[in-house]
Structure 1
C-alpha cells in the first residue's frame, strides 16, 4: 500500500501508535494527510477528515478528484474571440516572508483536530528549546523556498509531536527537532529528485 502511495507522490512522514498497539504509517502530499492502518491496510484520509476508510490510494485519489472537480451542469458556451490583444500578465504573487509563512503554519495547526493544544505545544517548544526552534525555522525556510504549503509543514509538526509521545527520557525535544530536520531534508530531496 505504501508503494502505491509513493507512486502517487505521497511522502512517508513517520509512524504513529494506535489504540491496538501497532504503528500506522503517516503520509502527506500538499496539504493532504493520510494514515495506513497497520492491521488492515485501509487508508484513512485525515486532512480533509473523512469518516470512512478507503480500500487503497486509488480510491483516495478518485475521491479527492471528484471532491475538487467543479460541478458541470451543461457545457459552457464557447468564448468569443478577443477583439483586442490581451494585456501583459500581472507579475506572479509575492512570496510570503518567513514570519508570514510561519503564521500560516500556526493557523493550519490551530485548525487541526486538537489544534489549540498543538499550537500551544509548538510555541512552548520554540520558546524553551533552541534545537527545536532552529529545526522549526529550517523546516519553514525550506518549505517557503521550495513552495511547500503551510498545511504540509503543519502536518510535519503534528507527525513530530506524535513521535514525541513514543519517546522516553530526557532527549524528547532533541528527537522532535531531529524529526523536523529530517522532514526538511526529505522535502529538499523530493523536490530535487
Structure 2
C-alpha cells in the first residue's frame, strides 16, 4: 500500500490522512476574523447599493522571457468585491487605469453567462496595429459607450506615462452598411 503524506507524516489509511489534513486546515483558519470581515462586507453592501458593479481595467502585458509580443488589454472584473483578486488572466498584466463599468456595459455583461472572473480583450502590437491605433480603438469604443472625455484623457495619460511618450489618437472611420437588395 502506498502511504499518503500529510505534513511529513505518512498515513496508510485514507480516512486517517483526510482527518489529519482537515484538522490541520481547521487549525490554520481564523474564524473570528472571518465573521468580522463578513459583518463589514454586509454593512458595506447595505450602505453602497452599487457594490456589485464590475470594474473595467486597462493594462499592459508584463515582460517575460517566454512572452515575445507586446500587448495592451482591456479587462472586466466581474466580481469586484471578492477577496482573491489575482488570477491567471490578470497575473501577466500591469493595470494602468481602473474605472467602474457604465450601465450599458453592466447590462451586456449580465446578459452573458461567464464562468471566469475576468474577461480579457487584448490587442497585440505589431506593424499593422501600432500602439497609437490600438489605443485609438479603445478610446473609440469608450466614446461609443458614453465615457466622459475627462475619463478618456485620464486613460490616455496613464498609457502615456507608462510608455513615456505621447500618443496620437485617431478618429474612427465609421462606415455605413449599404442595403443592396431593396
TM band (smaller chain): under 0.3
Higher strand share: 2
Task: Identify the structure with the greater helix proportion.
Answer: 1
TM-score (norm 1): 0.25
Mark the structure with the bigger radius of gyration: 2
TM-score normalised over the length of structure 2: 0.26
